[in-house]
Structure 1
Amino acid sequence: MQSMNISLPEPLKEFVDEQVDSGRYSSVSEYVRELIRDDERRKSQDKLEAFLLEGIRSGEPTEMTRQDWEQVRREAIKRLEASRSRKTASSLLLAGAGWH
């Protein structure tokens, strides 16, 4: 795990210390990690809501045909294979550089 140093004004540092002292968090690091995770979840939720609104605003719904589903499957397989290829290439590069 990587370390990171941050500077806080005294009132914020006191607030963080209070959160740890309350017993909910075992350390300042745990508290900060939880804040970051919450922010990630919030951003993911915002993205999902934007996609849902885009879908709602896109017009009347249409029923998916067999051809539509086949195209979705082909695209999913294509993306999965591309992802696997990138991971394999990265692993080979790291192994060649002496990273394991």
Structure 2
Amino acid sequence: MFRADLGQKRETFVAELVASGRHKSKSQVLREGIRLIQERETRLAVLDLALARGLADLREGRTKPLARRDRAARDQVDGHW
């Protein structure tokens, strides 16, 4: 049996999820939360690997200039950060 002290605010939130029927039990809420964390960790691991590969390519000189279209897209994204 796993027990966790969530604090009043989170306990209330979990109780509301169960009362609304969105989840059948507190355990189901916990399982869903863990599943979401696992998904996030997997996505982060994939991003970390892609970043490591990109940095290795950069160090080894395996790069090419951005096409005009790609520069425009990058500039548009940079404007939203």
- The normalised TM-score by structure 2 is 0.65
Please report how far the alpha carbon of residue 9 of structure 1 lies from its aligned counterpart in structure 2 after TM superposition.
1.9
1: CA distance between counterparts of 2:6 and 2:52? 39
CA deviations over 1:67-91 (Å, ceiling 9, x no partner): xxxxxxxxxxxxxxxxxxxxxxxxx
User: Which of these residues, 25, 42, 45, is aligned with residue 44 of structure 1?
Assistant: 42
SS in 1 for 2:23: coil
Which has the higher mean CA deviation after the structures are superposed, 42-51 or 14-23? 14-23
Please report how far the alpha carbon of residue 11 of structure 1 lies from its aligned counterpart in structure 2 after TM superposition.
1.8
Matched to 2:3, the amino acid is N
Identity among equivalent pairs (%)? 27
CA deviations over 1:1-60 (Å, ceiling 9, x no partner): xx2111232222111101111211110000001100110110111011010111112121
Higher relative contact order (CA 8 A, sep 6+): 2
Runs of 5+ consecutive residues of structure 1 not aligned to the other structure:
62-100
The structure with more radius of gyration: 1
Runs of 5+ consecutive residues of structure 2 not aligned to the other structure:
64-81
1: CA distance between counterparts of 2:6 and 2:44? 28
Q: In the comparison of the two structures, how many residue pairs are matched?
A: 59
User: Which of these residues, 22, 29, 38, is aligned with residue 20 of structure 2?
Assistant: 22
1: CA distance between counterparts of 2:6 and 2:48? 33
State the 4+ residue runs in structure 1 displaced beyond 4 angstroms. Answer: none
User: Which of these residues, 6, 9, 32, is aligned with residue 7 of structure 2?
Assistant: 9
Matched to 2:34, the amino acid is I
